[in-house]
Amino acid sequence: MPSNVDTDLYGLLEELGGQLYLDAQIDIPPDVRAGLKAAMERESSQVARGIVNTMLRAIDISDRKHALVCQDTGIPIFWVTIGNGFEIDGVQLVAALTRGIERVTRDHPLRSSIVDPITRENRQTSTGEGIPVIHVEFSKDIDHLDLLMMPKGSGSESMSFLAMLTPADGLAGVKKFVLDIAVGAQGKPCPPTIVGVGIGGSSDLCTTLAKKATLRPVGERHSDPKIAALELELLEAINATGIGPMGLGGDTTALDVHIETAWTHITLNPVAVNMQCWRGERRRAKISRDGSYVIGY
Amino acid sequence: MEYRFTPPLSEADVRGLRAGDTVVLDGTIWGIRDATQIRMFDRGVAAPVDLHGTALLHVAPNVRKTETGYEPLVIGTTTSMRMDRFTEGLLRDYGVRAIIGKGGLSDVSSAAFATYGGVYLAIVGGAASVETEQVEAIENVYWEDLMPECLWQFRVKNFGPLIVAMDATGASTYRDVGATARSRLDAIYEKLGVTRG
């Protein structure tokens, strides 16, 4: 299907898909850097300050050398938001983004972290059945195409949990679940983490909301004041545990807590937690209908 | 306390370290991973080199083959807990003195560090660009058929800072931090309006 975009849209998506995957692993978002610097000033423990300082050094070295910050290239995940009146062929979109990931993996080269779950075969392309993960959403508030990419490393992705709580468990049950997960995870997700929490929906929507929540910039609050207050309450609670950077003790276990919600069934009270490691990797392109684009975070 | 060592490490070297100390290494360290240790312990194939007094790294290497060997592209550290059950064998059968990794090891490994005289050195996970700068060269590679989970001999300079997180007295920072967090839970629950269940 031809698109109403004045360019080779699918060629551009292939190009950008690969580029965003690579650049997200090299250039850490400014809000994450600011969060780490704030942690550096807040930490009372010398060991914790030393750890955060090494994290900031890693970011700096990667800036200078244009090198990957971490060796884990992760699972490539795209969040595509199609704006009002932006016409696009979904089949070609998926094919273009997949080709982009394959090409940058071969050309850079990048470690392919993707295997068949049964045979453990690795095609060395960073792709496979269902990978890259591509979430597609629609927005009436924009008229461009928003392409957001996150490479998701396994250390933090391993710390993903869902609980189908009951209405009787209430919001208190939700808070307890999030806190208990943070305590149980200790140093495994490479803290200080960005903690994403999904509340409500069906089980699949709930876990998707939790992951999406990790993508909101550090320090940015939910637009709903009561959810924003809950985010700050949980952030304070998680940091009060003293787990600290890399789980070796300190005042900063999470850089932020972000919550996304959806309405749910009368009998359900679902909550999901997804964590992003201290690098908070993400990269975005806003593609306009005239084929121009802007790169950001 | 801050220490600098050039392995081989003696039993006295590691028994003098305490959880919370910082260590920097120069010289030779060895990289191992899941498949390397599965071969050594589950398949019973002896490591082709003498590992007495060595420091081992739970490594995630990304390398490029050259005419003369391998060049490091990105050298990072992987989660140690997956390889927890090999700790005792490394200390008892091979005389390894230090294991460098991220995320920590279990209390079983902690007891082995006390019995045989060994330490766990925590690296800052995810900061592979720092680590890569500290690897001067890949000096040798054994068991190349396990690529990339071979037995790697790295020459390093200023490798660290590494934090002693499990020491030879049986202390474990992970155990202590976990216990502290759990002891604070009641107060945190109360503040959140949560009834402990």
Q: Could you read off the pLDDT tens digit of each residue along chain A, which spans 297 residues? A: 556 666 699 999 999 999 999 999 999 999 999 999 999 999 999 999 999 999 999 999 999 999 999 999 999 999 999 999 999 999 999 999 999 999 999 999 999 999 999 998 999 999 999 999 999 999 999 999 999 999 999 999 999 999 999 999 999 999 999 999 999 999 999 999 999 999 999 999 999 999 999 999 999 999 999 999 999 999 999 999 999 999 999 999 999 999 999 999 999 999 999 999 999 999 999 999 999 999 999
Cβ of A71 within 8 Å of Cβ of B161? The answer is no
Q: Could you say which of B102, B184, B195 has the minimum Cβ distance to residue A241? A: B184
DSSP A128: B
- Kindly list the domain boundaries of chain B, sorted by start residue: 2-172
User: How close B40 comes to chain A (CA, Å)?
Assistant: 21
Nearest to A77 by CA among A130, A145, A152: A152
Q: What is the CATH class of A9-26+68-153+281-296?
A: alpha beta
Averaged pLDDT, B35-55:
97
Q: Which residues of B touch A176 (CB under 8 A)?
A: 189, 192, 194, 197
DSSP B11: H
Q: N- to C-terminal Cα distance for chain B? A: 42
Q: What is the C-alpha to C-alpha distance for residues B7 and B53, in angstroms, rounded to an integer? A: 7
CB of B176 within 8 Å of a chain A CB? The answer is yes
**Beta-bridge partner residues of A291:** none
Residue A157's pLDDT is 96
B130, B135, B172: best mutation site toward chain A, by most A Cβ within 10 Å?
A: B130
Q: How far is CA B111 from CA A154, A225, B108, in A?
A: 28, 49, 5
Alpha-carbon torsion angle B137, B142, B144, B149, nearest 10: -80
Does residue B196 have a pLDDT over 70?
no
What the block records as the tokens of B94 is 């091979």
Residue B60's pLDDT is 84
Q: What is the C-alpha to C-alpha distance for residues A22 and A106, in angstroms, rounded to an integer? A: 12
Q: Which residues of A touch B189 (CB under 8 A)?
A: 176, 179
Cβ of A70 within 8 Å of Cβ of B132? The answer is no
Q: Which residues of A touch B75 (CB under 8 A)?
A: 71
Cβ of B62 within 8 Å of Cβ of A71? The answer is yes
Cβ of A242 within 8 Å of Cβ of B103? The answer is no
Residue B62's pLDDT is 87
A26, A47, A169, A252: best mutation site toward chain B, by most B Cβ within 10 Å?
A: A47
Cβ of B177 within 8 Å of Cβ of A57? The answer is no
Cβ of A70 within 8 Å of Cβ of B126? The answer is yes
- Kindly list the domain boundaries of chain A, sorted by start residue: 9-26+68-153+281-296, 155-276
Residue B195's pLDDT is 82
Q: Which residues of B touch A111 (CB under 8 A)?
A: 62, 74
Q: What is the three-state SS of A94-106?
A: HHHHHHHHHHHHH
Residue B64's pLDDT is 86
User: How close A28 comes to chain B (CA, Å)?
Assistant: 12
Size of interface A-B (CB pairs under 8 A): 150
pLDDT digits (tens, 9 = 90+) for B105-124: 999 999 999 999 999 999 99
Cβ of A54 within 8 Å of Cβ of B161? The answer is yes
User: How close A35 comes to chain B (CA, Å)?
Assistant: 16
Q: Could you say which of A186, A233, A240 has the minimum Cβ distance to residue B178? A: A186
Q: How far is CA A112 from CA A28, B32, B36, in A?
A: 21, 19, 20
B174 to chain A: nearest residue by CA? A248
Identify the sign of the CA torsion B144, B148, B150, B154: positive
Nearest to B157 by CA among B12, B4, B2, B3: B4
ipTM, 2 dp: 0.93
Averaged pLDDT, B179-189:
96
Q: Which residues of B touch A279 (CB under 8 A)?
A: 126
B1 to chain A: nearest residue by CA? A47
Beta-carbon-side half-sphere exposure of residue A285 (alpha carbons within 13 Å): 23
Residue A161's pLDDT is 98
What the block records as the tokens of A71 is 């060796």
Q: Could you say which of A59, A70, A175 has the minimum Cβ distance to residue B194? A: A175
Q: Which residues of B touch A244 (CB under 8 A)?
A: 177
CB of B79 within 8 Å of a chain A CB? The answer is yes
Q: Where are the alpha helices (DSSP H) in chain A?
A: 9-24, 30-42, 46-65, 90-107, 154-157, 170-185, 203-213, 225-239
Residue A3's pLDDT is 61
Domain B2-172 bears CATH identifier 3.50.50.60: no
Residue A189, classed as helix, strand or coil, is coil
Q: What is the C-alpha to C-alpha distance for residues B32 and B11, in angstroms, rounded to an integer? A: 21
Cβ of B124 within 8 Å of Cβ of A54? The answer is yes
Q: Could you say which of B102, B125, B181 has the minimum Cβ distance to residue A241? A: B181
Q: What is the C-alpha to C-alpha distance for residues A55 and B124, in angstroms, rounded to an integer? A: 7
Q: What is the C-alpha to C-alpha distance for residues A240 and B149, in angstroms, rounded to an integer? A: 39
User: How close A3 comes to chain B (CA, Å)?
Assistant: 40
DSSP B103: S
Cβ of A237 within 8 Å of Cβ of B173? The answer is no
pTM of the prediction?
0.95
